[in-house]
Amino acid sequence: MFTKPLNTLLILMVTMPILGWVTYKKKYRKIRGLYAVLGLSVTAYFLYELYLEVSEKGNLRSCSLPFGACLDIDMLSIFMALIYVMIGLLAAAYSVKYMERDTGLTEYYTLLLGMVAGMMGVTFAGDFFTLFVFWELMSLTSYALVAFRKERWAPIEAGFKYLIMSAAGGATILLAMSFLYGMTGTLNFADIATGLGSVASNEWLFVTLTLIIVGFGVKAAIVPFHTWLPDAHPEAPAPISALLSGVLVPTGAYALIRVLLLVFGSIQSVWQMTLLVFAVLTMFVGNLMALLQDDIKRLLAFSTIAQMGYILFGFSIASQQGLTGSLFHIMNHAIMKSLLFLCAGAFVHQVGTRDLRKLEGIRQTMPVTSMLLAIGAVAIAAIPPLNGFWSEWMIVLAGIEAEMLPYSALMIINILLSVAYYLRLIYVIVLKEPTPVSKKATEVPLSMLIPIIILAALCIIIGVYPGPFVALAQQAANATLGL
């Protein structure tokens, strides 16, 4: 059917309700979370086997005919899928303890597995409609996961806004797909590329380009279409926020760059300039709005928008250096942002508030979590020995090498702006005097701390020894550019 990891995830998604029905007694409830974690570990092992197979064969294609659905797995797909499964595994392990007071955990784990399966399918797709099918799977599960805590009004409002904007984006992608089908008669990526090569660059190609950027940009948090993000990410449960910010938003960017590079090769200079303008706008809006926030998760949501601006800047350079830097930054951002969101979730779990003014000085009662949050904030502020510095430096260097000096200077200005609010975060959490609210906190249980410790350790390891990870990103970039 599909490849082994995707098969495993889909079968797990379908069998989780059976397990949920069997374990209805209160003392057996933890089995559901452990089943999800175990299943994701098995998927990670299968993905590793697939990685070995792809790295010796180049890419795996199962495309028979130009009008058949197919999967096309190359190093970029494996790279992204590795990130998804790793963050999904850690988020599922974290949510065993975090979500224990909620009802409906069977549906929660079903939807979580479905979301990771959908994202993996988006990266494995070789045909435009297959990508759309898995895109819908990913989107549908994320709508329900954002609106999961339906007893309060805020997740419902955030979920409705997210649903309307994201569904409109999906419809725009479908319209762009129809125009591409009309021009070439097929929806297979490779065949569209050859078919469009014979079509002279005409107006309809620009219309399709606009629709593609709008449609994928809604999910990838490009600035005029980002307004769902600052509402949806704080209101989702913390492990889902980590998954949304760390992997779902970069999936939009991945799909965008995959389609743009494969299909629109003939008008490359046009979409490079367009993406460049959008990237700079995204960076500025994200950073400037984050300076004004008092809610810790909303601040992290705006910082996601800014980081997506950096990633899009690297994609718009479209050279090997730029793509390597962006892909490496996607991996680093997934790790760092998940770390920050899981720590923020730990604070919310213990104290019950997201307001930074009330969370001041919580280091005195929750020392381990605050130190891990400090590591994450230092990493994402691009301070040298940690991993954020290497990837952002690579993107800036790629911009300088591609003769885009003013844009690289703008990116450096944005990084300095972001240092301001990350250092404010560390100052408030670590160095201020504790408020009465933060004095009542206790340290989180160990099963919630282990995923956070693993993420912080990864930050430090990648920062000190980035070699093998950069090599992996470079293999992925070479596969995308067809080198």
Partner 1 sequence: MRMNRNRVVGLTAIVLAILIFSMLVVSHEFPILNSAETVKMETTEFLWTYRLIDMIAQAFVLFAAAACCVAILRAGEKE
Partner 2 sequence: MIPLSYYIMGAIALYIVGMYCLAVKRNMIRLVIGIEILINAAHLNFIAFSAHRSPSFIDPLGHSIVIMSIVFAGCVTAVALTIVTYAYKHYGTLDVRKLRRLRW
Given the rule CB under 8 A, which residues bind partner 2? 67, 129, 132-133, 136, 139-140, 143-144, 147, 150, 153-154, 156-161, 163-164, 167-168, 170-172, 174-175, 177-179, 181-182, 185-187, 231, 235, 292-293
Interior CA angle at 84 toward 80 and 87, to 5°?
135
For 229, the enclosing helix (H) or strand (E) is helix 229-235
Positions in 222-261 near partner 1 (CB under 8 A): none
SS3 for 355?
strand
Alpha carbon dihedral 26, 28, 29, 33, in 10-degree steps, equals 170
Q: Residue 157 binds what, of partner 1, partner 2, none (CB under 5 to 8 Å, by partner type)?
A: partner 2
Q: What is the DSSP letter of 228?
A: T
* 188 φ, ψ (degrees, to nearest 5): -80, 135
385, two tokens: 């020995």
**Judged by CB, which is closer to partner 2: 19, or 174?**
174
**Which region, judged by CB under 8 A, interacts with partner 1, from 114-122, 250-258, 344-352, 437-445?**
114-122
Q: Residue 22 binds what, of partner 2, partner 1, none (CB under 5 to 8 Å, by partner type)?
A: none
CA distance 239 to 242: 5
Q: Residue 292 binds what, of partner 2, partner 1, none (CB under 5 to 8 Å, by partner type)?
A: partner 2
Binding-residue total with partner 1 (CB under 8 A): 38
* 358 φ, ψ (degrees, to nearest 5): -90, -20
Q: Residue 172 binds what, of partner 1, partner 2, none (CB under 5 to 8 Å, by partner type)?
A: partner 2
**b/e map 179-207, b = 16+ CB within 10 Å:** bbeebbebbbbbbbbebbeeeeeeeebee
**Judged by CB, which is closer to partner 1: 150, or 440?**
150
**Which region, judged by CB under 8 A, interacts with partner 1, from 61-69, 307-315, 355-363, 437-445?**
61-69
Residue 351, CB-side half-sphere exposure with 13 Å CA sphere: 29
How far from each other are the two terminal CA atoms of the chain, in whole angstroms? Answer: 29
Positions in 70-99 near partner 1 (CB under 8 A): 70-71
CA distance 335 to 464: 15
**Judged by CB, which is closer to partner 1: 28, or 67?**
67
41, two tokens: 């570990």
Binding residues (CB under 8 A) for partner 1: these are 1-2, 10, 13-14, 17, 64-65, 67-71, 103-104, 107-108, 110-111, 114, 117-118, 121, 129-130, 133-134, 136-137, 140-141, 143-145, 147-148, 150-151
